[in-house]
Structure 1
Amino acid sequence: MSDPAQTAVEEPVPPAAHSGLTAREVAERVDRGDVNDVPVRSSRSTAEIVRANVFTRFNAIIGVLFLIILVVGPIQDGLFGFVIVANTAIGIIQELRAKKTLDSLAVIGEAKPTVRRDGVPTAIATGGIVLDDVIELGPGDKCVVDGEVLEVDGLEIDESLLTGEADPVLKQPGDPVMSGSFVVAGGGAFRATKVGREAYAAQLAEEASRFTLVHSELRSGISQILKYVTWMMVPTAIGLIISQLVVEKDDWKEAVRRMVAGIVPMVPEGLVLLTSVAFAIGVIRLGRKQCLVQELPAIEGLARVDVVCLDKTGTLTEGGMDVTALRLLDGSDEPYVRQVLGALGESDPRPNASLQAIIDAYPDSADWRCTESLPFSSARKYSGAALNGPDAESSRWLLGAPDVLLTEGDAALAEVEDLNAQGLRVLLLARADRELDDPRVTDGVRPTALVVLEQRLRPDAGDTLRYFAEQNVSAKVISGDNAVSVGAVAGKLGLPGADAPVDSRRLPAERDAMAEALDRGAVFGRVTPQQKRDMVGALQSRGHTVAMTGDGVNDVLALKDADIGVSMGSGSEATRAVAQIVLLDNSFATLPSVVAEGRRVIGNITRVATLFLTKTVYSVLLAVLVVCSRVPYPFLPRHLTLLSTLTIGVPAFFLALAPNKERARPHFVRRVMRYAVPAGIIAGLATFAAYLLARQHYSGTGALDAETSAATLTLFLISMWVLAIIARPYTWWRIALVLAMALGFVIVLVTPWLQHFFALKLVGTTMPWAAVGIAVVASVSLELVWRWVGRRFPA
């Protein structure tokens, strides 16, 4: 303390011996390329974004058909090609916007390791590390490159993310350090021996912060649907080509146009686009709230969550604490105890929140010297130090959880329980007779004082917990602190079940029994890091989708195993690396926004997918009926482009971005197809019936445009009814959207140049009204089937 040289006497290697590289040595290594130049990106590159949106299977199909139409003409039958160009451009622009947002947030959230240069500790970007740099380590720091340990101060490193071994490894000088591991206790320094792509973390670091399109039920479901559509397209297209060439043998160009018209609407190309756009806009919206989404489907995943596990410290409470009282237990002199606490605080170079509060309350005295230290570990729940006081008498002290340091039944525990019941945190200062490295150091300790700490509740935590309760999401507070204290804090915030906290040391180890206890309880204290991981697994075994929030190294394993890991921006580098979502503003209140965004995306994509796939079903059915009946295909490409734009494309875009608070439900494909298949069949049969009736009504007149117009009117009205069903529940803007699309079709029918452009003209009154009548019957059937399906196959 007063003498830095004396303080370091017990360290294996004095820090002064490792002053790090000089500026000249750094420059030499940079010139040689010995730099940690792993390209850590938060998003795909611009080229990858363009390539992913342009070079798709369906763009290739539509592109070929568009070229065919350019050959046979007229250009209005090629409108679908321009729609694809516009859709692709929208997708690229939105994802580039999301990339810009993510890249800027990644820079804000990027960890900067402390490196010694010219003997001065300096925080630099990970990419600025060079070979042989001396990198300092403290609790929560992630090892970003491979290296060799130079200095240790009770340095314990968790390598479980790499090796699967749960127990932390106590490091000594000369031991190897694996990049991707992280410090759980103590501190030290190591020399970088492998940097850049040679380091083991080259892949881990890049993957940890990359904006990825990994597995999600939504995307895999859409891919499955598109696979089925492709299988249906090939035989249907072949049959359609043959039938139209036979029917239109005197006009091959007309046959080709009708064939293209039959194939194009089978492709639900906008569904993939809208999914990407909805995700990208979700990322942008969350980015504005300082929420970094490190994996795209994390938005979707959190929307499916039905259990959220919360770490109390840093989530329900703010990071800082205040010492409110010091209660002596053995009649010790209070000034003496204050000096011991000050010396203990000074013995830890990287204090946690509790120790920092003690440091602030009890400054270090120049008369005390630390000769040995035992860093705090979340597994053992205490720290310690060997101190030489002003009387030169050496003493060993422990500071930690009273119920861990004291034996059951100790008189001091009753007072601790009373304080915990008030929501206060209590640490015990005790004198130990054994050496600090003795596994039984806590045996026979002499309690000296209770340090009472008050935690600062987050002002928005209560509202956030209420939001989860309203959304039927169970909140489980899982903390390493005393269960009664955690329950009192949760009770102040109004968490249901907080009045029955559970001490996790009494939880059964067997997974099913643990899961049953977790379902019953809401607050769990004295949870070890491994127990947190086991709890997440137990909940998942019951079919729950689990989100885990945390900010400390004791949360890393649970964050990694949870379906969705959420880290605070101020949390340790290790937690930020494994989390899918990072709250850069450290606000727990941002979580409802993330949940709401996920629900908006999934709920709305399910809605619009029904629109797109209804079109696919009736298109396939119409093509099959045409092939079997050997009649001209009822539509030209321009007709279906108009219908798709007014009944699917434009309304789907608005519906996909609308608010939606409905909790995401599983079985995406089944839920979409159970509506799309009957709706598509009804629409296809009704449209074909109207077409055949029109052919009979206009027989002998050669009025193919009149026949097509009647069929188009029927299909438009049925598609509008499908849209009206999908748009429920109605709001003013949803009603306005449906009416605007109907008005658009009316304008086409009454405007002469648009009639000519789209080859639509209703002839007479009998057949148009018959087409309307068929559409009404089909719409009533749709409504009845829709309601029956909803009752027969509830979501």
Structure 2
Amino acid sequence: MSIAEEQMSGLSAAEVARRVADGETNALPERVGRSVGDIVRANVFTRINAILAVLFLLVLATGSLIDGMFGLLIVGNSVIGIVQEVRAKRTLDRLAIVGQARPVVRREGRSQQIPPDQVVLDDLIELGPGDQIVVDGEVVDTAALEVDESLLTGEADPVDKQVGDPVMSGSFVVSGSGVYRATRVGSQAYAAQVTAEAGKFTLVNSELRSGISTILKVITFLLFPAGLVTIYNQLFASHQPWRDAVNGMVGALVPMVPEGLVLMTSIAFAVGVVRLGRRNCLVQELPAIEGLARVDVVCADKTGTLTENGMRLSEVIPVGDADEAELRRALAAIAAADPRPNASIAAIAEACPKAPHWQPTATAPFSSAKKWSGISFGVDGDWLLGAPDVLLDPDFPAAATAQELGARGLRVLLLANGDRPVDAPDAPGTVTPQALVVLEQKVRPDAAATMKYFASQGVSTKVISGDNAVSVGAVAQSLGLPGGDHPVDARELPTDTAELADELDAATVFGRVRPDQKRAMVSALQSRGHTVAMTGDGVNDVLALKDADIGVAMGSGSPATRAVAQIVLLDDRFATLPSVVGEGRRVIGNIERVSNLFLTKTVYSVVLAFLVGVVGIGAQIWHGRPIGYPFLPRHMTIAAWFTIGLPAFVLSLAPNAERARRGFVRRVLRLAVPSGVVIGVMTFIAYLIAYRGADESQAQRTQASTSALITLLIIAVWVLAVVARPWVWWKLILILGSVAGYLVLFSVPFFRHFFQLDPTNVAMTAVAVVCGGVGVFAVEVAWRFAERFGAGSDTSH
């Protein structure tokens, strides 16, 4: 073996082992952003847990362990959050192993696929179209290798790479093939973070999560003044014993804390990840679940998305007097000379396995820009294979035949001879057509149903393909897509964004679209306020996938597309997309319901605390009747059990097919705030009517608190009923179960004694029921008013 051959054979097993021992591997940080330890710490050491812990210690200081039951929320919140996030993490990690790019390395003269973290320094890595460059290196062999470095530099034009040129991780191969030697691996690579970030599990850049954050800020703003008023009134103005004063203060502050809101949001997202994982859908960025539910335009590539990747050579139609047997020999030679065949070449190679011993002298790999590839075989000719409508004069008879075949949904390539080497600057030169190569593509059986689903949901579909426009239109027509009979040739499209947006509004099917045009189309749609999802599997889709609001890649597509997409369909099933939309709608709709419940509780807690505090402080100033907070912490604990806690958990995971709408925060505030105010005011009125003064007996105090609690529970259960609309059987069971739970607590002597409840004063209980009925009526009016006059301000998708 010569020195050059030895250098190109790759590392030996001993050399690999030595580099692994020296730490010269491509080991990168764990794919998911947080380890199990990080997840535990993030769920235990939260601001809400800290507030509850302080209040819990205050209650323990009074010696009333029963009133400290809310401390179980600390444990419950933490355990549930940890379990769900770890579960989602494991699902993502398992799917990531299936979906990750696996580079081909050359070791001891043999090529083998390995995980990217097993690449070591000085490895020889083979490259082909669509391959992602996983480490930095230097090119040692090239066959017209062109690399797109736009993900690193922002420059969209492919860069021609010669021997000795550097290549950077995070870039990908557009056309050609080659081999490069790894020079920087792991954290030393120039853009190691790019590929890591492409698959990172995130909880950011989401309207839903930013809305929750806004709500929490509003609550925090309310907590301080309400808390200060409550603390002063309980400790200084109410003239209660210190234990009763502290318990009342804690009873007022605990329900102000939305202890389950963030938890329920995280659970809903995490369960969505797990559910989609079962469908072989890898969610690389969590907000993609929510984002796809808001999408109103889906741009679908034809090949590999609407049609299956595999193709079959249907026939070879000679042009003129060419001999079909000789043409098939030429096709076999072209296929055999291609080191990284695409789907078309692979189909030709399968049908024409007996290749002649022609020696390639020049190659021109296929690219989406020029729409043809070629190989020069010296004395055996310069052969071209590409799009008939690009290589042929439109007036040539074979062009009409190709058009007719394309109109039937077939893929047609032209086999031709050029008059100069294919790598010449002015290639292909004069083209002499030899044959039409007809390939059959099978439309995915689930594509039509998926298109129908999107149409029924008001989501428009644009088919954008690099193939012949007539062929793309035929596929679209077979799927029942409107506009398939009027496909547009993208070579005639304007470059101005506004004009391009007009064309996209008017048409549905586009053929002969260049990669830069796909990107421009996404931008044009976004300029009209559309939320755009782009699906694709080829290297020509990467830039559009990156710029779209949601990028969806096929699992069998190029590593570059999988790296930039937010969602990867590992089993290539286009029909999985409705499931992703469904999960997004479930998350958005259910978290809105849950947010209404938690925010309502916070509002009525703040209102009640303010009313009691202001009246109590006023009584101290004007020497009136002092008043303390009506509830013990245990009362607010049971109030949350069946109006918020259990119902919120069920509603956050329940099916929900409601259309996603903008304006999450505004909608939640306008529905929850009136309800909270009504509950707070009516509960305070019921308490004032039942209250007998600071010197009332313990029995009278218990009856007054019970009366106020009955009013609160009646209205809060009705809020739950309104939030749960539209009602179905399981929601009715949930609501009736909540009512039954409270009836048990108020009627069973053990529970009445344990929770200090006394509904035996018929007059007070009747007043409480009347106040509750008034509150129910007021809530219903407020909600109907909000629905009627607020719906027009929301934008549906």
Contact kept, 8 Å, 1:156 with 1:184, in 2: the verdict is: yes
SS of aligned partner of 1:191? strand
Residue 516 of structure 2 is aligned to residue 526 of structure 1: no
Distance 1:458 1:667 in 2: 37
Distance 1:14 1:424, change over 3 A: farther
Identity of aligned residues (%): 58
* Aligned residue number for residue 565 of structure 1: 551
Pick the aligned partner of 1:611 from 592, 597, 602: 597
Provide the residue aligned with 1:135 in structure 2: 125
CA distance in 2, matches of 1:748, 1:48: 40
CA deviation string 1:62-104 (max 9, x = no partner): 1111111111131121111102311221111111111111111
Instruction: Find the partner of 1:647 among 628, 643, 647.
Output: 643
Written as runs of structure 1 = structure 2, the 5 A alignment for 1:403-414 is 403-414=389-400
What does the per-residue CA deviation read over 1:218-246, in whole Å, with 9 as the maximum and x for residues that have no partner? 11111111112112111211111111112
Q: Paired residue for 1:512, among 498, 505, 514?
A: 498
- Are 1:695 and 2:691 counterparts? yes
Q: Given residue 64 of structure 1, which amino acid in structure 2 is its aligned partner? A: V
User: CA separation in 1, counterparts of 2:771 and 2:229?
Assistant: 28
Structure 2 distance, partners of 1:282, 1:18, is 47
What's the CA shift string for 1:113-145, capped at 9, x where partnerless? 111111111211111111111111111111111
Q: Please name the residue that 1:117 is paired with.
A: 107
Distance 2:327 2:394 in 1: 24
Equivalent position SS for 1:116: strand
The residue correspondences of 1:685-724 to structure 2 (distance < 5 A) are: 685-695=681-691, 703-724=700-721
SS at match of 2:691: helix
Quote how far apart the aligned CAs of 1:39 are.
2.4
Task: Quote the residue 1:753 is aligned against.
Answer: 750
Please report how far the alpha carbon of residue 110 of structure 1 lies from its aligned counterpart in structure 2 after TM superposition. 2.2
- Give the aligned residue type for 1:680: G
Give the equivalent residue in structure 2 for 1:444: 430
State the one-letter code of the partner of 2:629: Y
Verify the 8 A CA contact 2:329 2:356 in the aligned structure 1: no
Structure 2 equivalent of residue 621 of structure 1: 607
CA contact 1:35–1:195 (8 Å) conserved in 2: yes
Cα distance change, pair 66–435 in 1 and its aligned pair in 2 (3 A): same
C-alpha contact 2:363 2:423 (8 A) present in aligned 1: no
Corresponding position: 1:540 with 2:537: no
Residues 279-336 of structure 1, C-alpha deviations (whole Å, 9 max, x = no match): 1111111111111111111111111111111111111111111111211122211111
> CA RMSD of the aligned region, Å?
1.6
What is the aligned partner in structure 2 of residue 453 from structure 1? Answer: 439
2-side partners of 1:214 and 1:246: how far apart?
44
Q: Give the corresponding residue for 2:179.
A: 189
2:235 to 232, 245, 249: 245
For residues 483 and 76 of structure 1, the distance between their equivalents in structure 2, rounded to whole angstroms, comes to 73
2:769 aligned to which of 772, 775, 780: 772
- Once residues 459 and 43 of structure 2 are traced to their aligned partners in structure 1, the CA distance between those partners, rounded to angstroms, is 36
Aligned to 1:490: 476
Q: Deviations over 1:648-672 (max 9, x none)?
A: 1100110111111112111211111
1:584: how far off?
1.1
Aligned to 1:320: 310
Q: Which residue of 2 aligns with 1:9?
A: none
- Quick check: 242-251 or 413-422, which moved more? 242-251
The verdict on how the C-alpha distance between 1:749 and 1:347 changes in structure 2, with shifts beyond 3 A counting, is: same
Deviations 1:176-203 (A, max 9, x none): 0111110011111001110111002321
Q: Paired residue for 1:27?
A: 17
Q: Aligned-pair distance for 1:249?
A: 2.9
The match for 1:732 among 711, 721, 729 is 729
Q: Deviation of residue 17 (structure 1)?
A: 4.5
1:471 to 453, 457, 462: 457
- Work out the CA distance in 2 between the residues paired with 1:410 and 1:541: 40
Quote how far apart the aligned CAs of 1:699 are: 8.9
Shift of 1:692: 0.8
Deviation at 1:15? 6.5
Aligned to 2:779: 782
Hey, what does 2:86 align to over in structure 1? 96
- Structure 2: stretches of 5+ with no match in the other structure: 617-626
**In the alignment, is residue 677 of structure 1 matched against residue 673 of structure 2?**
yes
Quick check: 1:14–1:151 contact (8 Å CA) kept in 2?
no
TM-aligned CA deviation for residue 523 of structure 1: 1.0
TM-superposed CA distance for 1:439, in Å, is 4.2
Q: Is the 8 A contact 1:548 1:559 kept in 2?
A: yes
1:129 and 1:776 map into 2 onto residues whose CA distance is: 71
- Letter paired with 2:773: V
Using the alignment, how far apart are the partners of 1:411 and 1:306 within structure 2?
42
CA distance in 1, matches of 2:334, 2:320: 19
Which amino acid in 1 is paired with 2:684? F
Contact 1:536 1:546 in 2 (8 A): yes
SS of corresponding position for 1:793? helix
Q: Deviations 1:407-433 (Å, cap 9, x if unpaired)?
A: 343332211221111111110112111
Deviation digits for residues 484-505 of structure 1 (CA, Å, limit 9, x no counterpart): 1011111111112222211111
The equivalences for 1:582-593 within 5 A come to 582-593=568-579
User: What is the SS of the residue equivalent to 1:370?
Assistant: coil
Query: Does structure 2 conserve the Cα–Cα contact (< 8 Å) formed by 1:401 and 1:428?
Result: yes
SS at the partner of 1:269?
coil
Bigger mean CA offset, 406-415 vs 322-331: 406-415
The aligned counterpart of 1:61 is: 51
Point out 4+ residue stretches in structure 1 off by more than 4 angstroms. Answer: 13-17, 696-702
- TM-score, normalising length: structure 1: 0.96
Unaligned runs of 5+ in 1: 6-12
The Cα of 1:726 is off from its aligned counterpart by 0.7
Structure 1 Cα separation of the partners of residues 771 and 184 of structure 2: 74
Contact 1:299 1:595 in 2 (8 A): yes
Provide TM-score, normalisation by structure 2: 0.96
The CA distance in 2 between the partners of 1:443 and 1:699, in whole Å, is 106
* Aligned-partner residue type, residue 655 of structure 2: P
How far, CA to CA, are the matches of 2:405 and 2:570 in structure 1? 33
Partner of 2:327: 337
Aligned-pair distance for 1:443? Answer: 4.1
Aligned pairs for 1:396-407 within 5 A: 396-407=382-393
**Structure 2 counterpart of 1:668:** 664
In structure 1, distance between residues paired with 2:659 and 2:64: 47
